[in-house]
Chain A
Amino acid sequence: MRAGSVVKPLGVFLAVILVVLAGTAVAGVALSDGSSAAADGEDIDGQSPSHIQPENVLADADPEDGEIQLDTDAEDKRILIDTQHGNQVPEDSIQPLVEALVQRGHSVDVGASGTSDGFGTTSSYNATLQEYDAVLIVAPTTSFGESQIAGLEAYTEGGGRVVVLGEPTQYSVSSGLGSASVSPLRFGANDLTRAFGMRMGSDLLFNVDDSETDNNYKAIYANPTGSGDLSEGVDTVTFDASGHVVVPDDSDAEPIVRAAEGTQRFSTRRSGEYVTAARNGNFVLVADSTFVRDSEVYDADNEQFVSNLLAFMVTGDKPDDVPQTGGDDSGFGGGDGGGFNSTTP
């Protein structure tokens, strides 16, 4: 065979294959035109949706500014911080208060001076109170005895100032080997506050309206109910995990601030007008104790509210012999269980 007789058939062979396959390819492209999807990710709207852009999701935090100011003429006042009633108060959590008071030349005793665990060497409760111009009671969990209540009533009537920062019922979890037990920590001073016409509610408050909370549904806003020394310069205060103060209709106590609209109670989910701080003369009850902490005290107008509370504490005018110590006081030291001088186990 000559070379030509191989090349020609081979050429035809290849030409036929080429034509058939080219035809198939053209037909394939033509038929699939229009039905083929774009490469994945092309022409897709919504992979950077507007609803997750920074301007639409970043949370607004309250600026933490302002100062605690104590602009009073009062000098050399003595403030007692109660440590006798199972107070759930880590010492550093009230540091902003203590520092502001000390800065202005007042003295603060955490527990009575002279001892580490009690009201000191004085044998009577009233005698201890006599030494101080104001008493701060933070998150008490054990009750006040009748004589202590009577003493504090006489104390406030005589010009002493008492501030109670309460907490709603909380639960502490203690875990043992393989088990955990939950025990409630309840506000212990309702017998005391009742003497002043108010009561600490046990329930936690919350608000799901973002514009009425700081940065969480539990960090509620509250607003002044009227004008008064304690709400001066305050538009909004924020309380984290606050309780509320029940003020009976026939009470002399007056609300200072009230939780913002839409605030609800945790257990009943009922909305209402919940008072979060109230005053009766020289006695003040706030339904939260955490707003004085470093992390909260500069939120909203908390620093102004705290300043007002401090001014309230140091502007009392109590004679040294109030409350009077007499024969009746002899039992105050320990007869009521939880008395200030009784030793704790």
Chain B
Amino acid sequence: MGTTTETARTTTVLYVIVVVVAVLISTVLAPVVWNATTSSSDDDPSVAVITLRGGTSDANVNAITDDLRDARTNDSVEAVVFRIDSSGGGVAPSEELYLAVNRTAQEMPVVAYVEGVAASGGYYGIVPADQIFVKSSSTVGSVGVIVQAPLSTVDQQERAAQSYIRSGPDKALTTRDKLRNRMETLQNAFLNTVMTHRGENITLDRQGVSRADTYLGPTAVRNGFADRIGDLDAAIEDAARRADSIDGDQYDVTYYEPPEITTGLLLAQDEIEGVDGDVVYVESSATDEFEDPVRFYYVWGVPTETVSDETEVTTDASG
């Protein structure tokens, strides 16, 4: 009997040990399972601050759309503050930026804070925001399009046609009329977008907006291009107040790393050749023999000077 009792005790001890070890291991694994099933790890909801400083270049906009996607899919993010200092850029990435911000604004409050400039493509990107904060030194507006075409595309067709044989009359050649019509179409898209999102705020009519003027903060608040004067914190506070799941001050602020600043507005497709003081030399895009026959920009800027076949661009600091 003694042996039997001893065996039973041993068995009991063994089971206790087994259960304890199992519970311990489970405790380690449980959080993993918990995370996998809830996907939410923070206690407090958060406001994401996403920053764009620089042109709406392909690279910048890609980074911002990634940030916005991350904010949308992260359950702890309940609102977004889009901090911007951008004079726009190519039409394609500018529109991409608009669509990404628009999508985000469909899901959660988005508040824009104009740190410096939100003009042309930059303004396109913030029109879907629920609220636009500006400083008195902020610049917004410039709802318009610029088209750039080398002379060989438009005015020197014959000369160009003699150097290169083309399979059709419209192969990389066009007319001023056609360019203007395309520009008008892009302008309509921009104007429609601005009027759809902010038509009720803006005191100007469609024609007035199409003049493509820019406005400093105080004027913008008056004419409805922006909503309020305030700083980043005011924008964050406003975004938090707009989020249903944020209760009072119970929220965190998550700053997304801004995309690395690209040097200028028009450099999106260009390779930087060298920097001399505040002058940046870039080589024109595409191949040595060809460039884009036409480029459309939602940009607030003036043409940069050309030095031989290199483009000279002054950086904004002292240019």
Contacts and interface: CB of A to CB of B under 8 A. Distances in A.
A3 interface: no
Interface in A41-73: 41, 44-47, 49, 51-52, 56-59, 61
A12 interface: yes
Contact of A13 (B18, B180, B307): B18
Nearest to B70: A40
Contacts of A208: 207-208, 210-211
Contacts of A5: 11, 14
B73 A37 contact: yes
Contacts of A32: 37-40, 75
Given A12-B15, A17-B25, A49-B193, A57 B176 contact: no
Interface stretch (A23-31, A222-230, A317-325, A335-343): A23-31
Given A12-B22, A59-B181, A208-B210, A29 B37 contact: yes
Contacts of B23: 16, 20
Contact of B102 (A25, A28, A47): A47
Nearest to A215: B180
Interface in B20-36: 21-23, 25-27, 29-30, 33-34, 36
A181 interface: no
A27 B14 CA distance: 30
7 contacts: A10-B18, A14-B22, A21-B29, A24-B37, A37-B73, A49-B196, A210-B184
A181 to B, nearest CB: 13
Given A21-B30, A59-B181, A12 B107 contact: no
A267 interface: no
B280 interface: no
Contacts of B36: 25, 28
Contacts of B177: 61, 215, 295
A116 interface: no
A183 interface: no
A36 interface: yes
B176 A295 contact: yes
B37 A17 contact: no
B185 A24 contact: no
Contacts of A13: 18-19, 21-22
Contacts of A45: 106
Interface of B: 11, 14-15, 18-19, 21-23, 25-27, 29-30, 33-34, 36-40, 69, 72-73, 75, 99, 102-103, 106-107, 175-177, 180-189, 192-193, 195-196, 207-208, 210-211, 305, 307
Contacts of B27: 20
Contacts of B39: 32, 36
A20 B103 contact: no
B196 A20 contact: no
Contacts of B102: 46-47, 49
A316 B27 CA distance: 106
A217 B145 CA distance: 12
Given A40-B73, A219-B180, A9 B15 contact: yes
A216 interface: yes
Given A13-B21, A24-B34, A56-B192, A35 B176 contact: no
Contacts of B184: 59, 210, 215-216
Contacts of A35: 40, 75
A210 B206 CA distance: 10
A140 to B, nearest CB: 22
A182 interface: no
Contacts of B195: 51
B106 A46 contact: yes
A252 interface: no
A298 to B, nearest CB: 10
A17 B189 contact: no
